[in-house]
Chains A and B, each alone.
Chain A
Amino acid sequence: MTAMISIKGVTRVFDSRDGDRIVALQDVSLDIAANQFITLVGPSGCGKSTLLRIVAGLILPTSGEASIGGVPIREPRPETGIVFQAPTLLPWASVMDNVLFPLRMMHRIDSTSADKAAALLKLVGLSGFEGKSPRELSGGMQQRVAICRALVHEPDILLMDEPFGALDALTREEMTMELLRIWGERPKTVLFVTHSISEAVVLADRVVVMSPRPGRIAEIIDVRTPRPRSFDTEGNSTFHEATQRIRQLIFGQRNVSAGRAAA
């Protein structure tokens, strides 16, 4: 397996305002193959988002090195798309202009751009909404637009920072399936940060479980559940095993059995 994204011994330290040193990531190593779907799961403060931003080139590691295709990441790279927890669409721009926004910022807009954007909006089921304002869209629809915005410049890496975290539970499941479908049609290397264990398992080829203070990788779990998947496969034994293992890693043995009894 040749790694597309290679993270080697990455440590990132932040200086907090009161002069303390906060170790957000400690000695994290991870290799990700092309077109793999990786989810990062763990409690708050385990450095998931920091790791994502290091891969995005938005922050640099204090020590260690992250590289893409053998090239060290020192600054943001145009072939990476990012989706955040909030859709953060531009309120004054139409859906179409929001999708085209990264191309405009990169001065890469040309005669084919509008067609590309329209095709993406069709892919997420938003055909006919091109001229609408973000205000007229529901939270789920806005996040779909944000996904189109992340894909419009045809990145080979898609970074998603809790993209469905702000959505209600039903929309969230729907969007998770939607993302799997999009990923099936347009394969990319995906790094997906989430708080939801079932979301992490249903999406991922490999789930990276992280633990906090200092942020490091607790374990990497291969999910062998065959694709296509859905939340119906939650009863599936491989799915169940993976979920249980992640719960153990995050909550410890005792809480897991308590949780099971309650369920």
Chain B
Amino acid sequence: MSVQAAPPLEKSRKRPSALFYEVMVPLLATAAGFLLWEGICRVFAVPGYLVPAPSQIWTETIEIGPTVFGHSMATLRTVMLGFVVSILISLPLAVLLTASPAIASTLYPFLVWTQSIPKVALAPILVVVMGSNELPRVVITVLVAFFPLVISSATGLMSVPPELIELSRACRASKWSELWRIRLPYAIPYIFAGLKVAISLAVVGAVVAEFVNADAGLGFLIATSTAFFKVPLAFGALIILSVMGVVLFQIVVVIERVFFPWSSGNTPVTQ
């Protein structure tokens, strides 16, 4: 996915040309890529049902713009629901996992087990069990997205220097304030690392779920349009999906930078 291509943004504000390198160059490169694509399609007269040219993708997608928008919103809804539920599950789970070795040994096998099940295989079964509605799609999205978030949050909660835990004990602080005032803030950079992976995976999960069971959504749109050889429309949906992934990823990056400036660009919290 293009998510990996997020440029490293820190420490660049000092240079006057920072904006140029951060925004203009990637945009120009993308534009150049599309131009090249368009050129190749025209020069070699590649048939539209194999690889459509960007112009063709654009016209055929815009043609049914409101419908495509509706599908995009349906997918976005599944992605966001799945993402939020992932957070609500992962953070308490990470706290539980780090609370005691006994709990960790009990829960880890189940966690690994959920990850070893192929989600594509699980999806039709979930539809039978849960019905043909939003629920199985959100469940699939969560199953795809939550694991890295649990693991990185748990790692973060354990990353606190042992001296600070001793200091907390020396202050006779409760486990709760140790968690709230020391462990959780220390885990913030790790939690955000997990959130960045989770939001990208949530898009993947939502589409997987839509392939199996949906009457709306970009995954549904791709499945139906390819069935009717409307390849340009499928490509349009694909591009919207990747843009959605990048934008959601960048929103997480911005949230980290605005609310936790000490965390972003400070990758490992060390002295």
Contact = CB atoms under 8 A, between A and B. Distances in A.
Interface in B108-141: none
B260 A102 contact: no
A213 B10 CA distance: 49
Interface of B: 161, 163-164, 166-173, 177, 181-182, 185, 188, 260, 262-263, 266, 269, 271
A56 interface: yes
Interface residues of A, number: 27
Contacts of A57: 170
Nearest to B164: A88
27 contacts: A53-B166, A56-B166, A58-B166, A58-B170, A76-B169, A82-B166, A82-B170, A87-B271, A88-B164, A88-B271, A92-B185, A92-B188, A92-B260, A92-B263, A101-B167, A101-B181, A102-B167, A102-B170, A102-B171, A105-B171, A105-B173, A105-B177, A106-B172, A106-B173, A135-B262, A139-B271, A142-B271
A240 interface: no
Interface string A31-45: 000000000000000
A86 B271 contact: yes
Nearest to B166: A58
Interface in A45-85: 53, 56-58, 75-76, 78, 80, 82, 84-85
Contact of A82 (B167, B177, B181): B167
B262 A88 contact: no
Contacts of B260: 92
B269 A104 contact: no
A18 B167 CA distance: 29
A76 B161 contact: no
B172 A84 contact: no
A84 B188 contact: no
